[in-house]
Amino acid sequence: MILFIYDKTFDGLLSCVFFAYEQKKFPDLILSDSEQKPLFVDEQYHVITEKEKSLRVWKALEKKLSKIARNMMLSVWLSELPEAEMLLFRYIRKNIAHPQGIEMNFGDDDVLRIKDIAQKVGNDARKLIQFVRFQETADGIYFAPVTPRYNVLSLIIPHFKSRYAGQPWIIYDTNRNIGLYYDTHSVSEVSFSQKDLSELKLGKLSDEKLSEEEALFQKMWREYFKSITIKERINLKLQRQHMPQRYWKYLTEMQ
């Protein structure tokens, strides 16, 4: 077995591709330093990420693949699935080997799997856009905790930068303990302590962290939702179908 160790970045993965062709060593497994290694490894290589080399691989793929196919590759990377590295490595290698690329070869298992994962990641991002709920904090920042299945924050940021361009906000992924802060000019990464994270996972900020208006609006919205609800017509199965239950803790009316 040939094992590649890399830094768990997309540029690092592309550097692995360059290294493989340069050294004529093709991996059976690609892992990061922190991941569990198999017991029996014949050859092991630590691949250093080099931006210039990763860019050369990407430019080669631009000649073979459409923008849609390249975006699907990035979506597979954002899935963070254990199979992602080797799936992408095989996909890249097949496209390099084929004169016109293989993105339309749906008889290939890797092509189908790339398409399937990319679709799931895209659906996760679209649902997140629908169900994000901001809460105005006491310091005037609009805050939204989320728990996406995949690492999709980078996919939804363009929508929120356009939709809420004039107000500062944070969208925070509590699964990965990382968020993106928009100060009305630029976006930067933020993270919280484990103590704060345990509260954020509940989906609702404590009253002392909310602005007075936010606390009032949430109370009014819950009362309104309760008043218009017809108990005899409640259909939880249909409700879960259109509004997955994992988002409920972030919806004021469901708390």
The mean per-residue pLDDT over the stretch 33-59 comes to 94
Residues 160 and 169 sit within 8 Å (Cβ to Cβ): yes
The mean per-residue pLDDT over the stretch 75-90 comes to 97
Query: Is the predicted pLDDT of residue 83 greater than 90, yes or no?
Result: yes
The mean per-residue pLDDT over the stretch 74-81 comes to 97
Query: Is the predicted pLDDT of residue 170 greater than 90, yes or no?
Result: yes
Q: Predicted confidence band at 239 (pLDDT cuts at 50, 70, 90)?
A: confident
Query: Is the predicted pLDDT of residue 80 greater than 90, yes or no?
Result: yes
Residue where the block lists tokens 């993270």: 191
Query: Is the predicted pLDDT of residue 182 greater than 90, yes or no?
Result: yes
Separation CA 72–CA 62 (nearest Å): 13
For the stretch 10-38, pLDDT in tens is 999 999 999 999 999 999 999 999 998 99
Q: Where are the domains of the chain?
A: 2-123, 132-254
- The tokens for 178 are 């990382």
The pLDDT of residue 70: 96
DSSP state of 210: B
Residue where the block lists tokens 């919280």: 192
In sequence order, what DSSP letters do the residues of 114-176 get, joined into one string?
HHHHHHHHHHHHHHHHHH---EEBTTS-EEEEE--SS--HHHHHHHHHHHTTTS-EEEEETTT
| Closest of 157, 251, 245, 166 to residue 204, by C-alpha | 251
SS3 190: strand
pTM: 0.86
The pLDDT of residue 136: 92
For the stretch 104-162, pLDDT in tens is 999 999 999 999 999 999 999 999 999 888 999 998 999 999 999 999 999 999 999 99
The mean per-residue pLDDT over the stretch 207-218 comes to 84
The pLDDT of residue 184: 94
The pLDDT of residue 125: 96
Separation CA 111–CA 114 (nearest Å): 5
Separation CA 64–CA 67 (nearest Å): 10
